[in-house]
């Protein structure tokens, strides 16, 4: 599903409201799936099946949903699946295409 994602944390620390407001959205196809019992959310380039995702959220869980928006929370691992993990939240907005 096509959406716009804004990350709400940097290295686990919640950004200020001002920082969040000024941050830009990343746009792409949001895909949620399970691998080995781990739920992952990935934001991928629109209309592509190959290539690295733009963003990955491990242990993703839905916190809240309102009409065409939702909040996901999980772990980000900037150095890959075996690197250090930080708490991350995504504000997701879905657009009609």
Tokens (6 digits) for 91? 């504000």
CATH of domain 2-94: 2.30.29
Record the pTM.
Answer: 0.88
- pLDDT (0 to 100) of residue 96: 66
Instruction: Find the length of the chain.
Output: 97
Cβ-proximal residues to 29 (8 Å cutoff; 6+ apart), any chain? 1, 2, 3, 43, 44, 45, 46, 47, 48
- pLDDT (0 to 100) of residue 26: 95
- pLDDT (0 to 100) of residue 97: 60
Q: What would the pLDDT profile of 36-85 be if each residue is shown by its tens digit? A: 898 999 999 987 777 789 999 999 999 999 999 999 999 999 877 777 89
H helices then E strands: how many in the chain? 1, 8
């Amino acid at each position: 599903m096509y959406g716009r994602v804004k990350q709400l944390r940097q290295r686990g620390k919640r950004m200020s409201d001002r920082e969040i407001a000024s941050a830009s959205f990343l746009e792409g196809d949001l895909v949620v799936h399970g691998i080995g019992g781990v739920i992952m959310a990935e934001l991928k380039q629109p209309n592509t099946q190959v290539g690295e995702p733009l963003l990955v959220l491990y242990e993703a869980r839905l916190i809240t949903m309102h009409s065409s928006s939702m909040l996901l929370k999980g772990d980000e691992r900037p150095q890959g699946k075996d690197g250090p993990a930080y708490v991350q939240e995504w504000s997701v907005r879905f657009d009609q295409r």
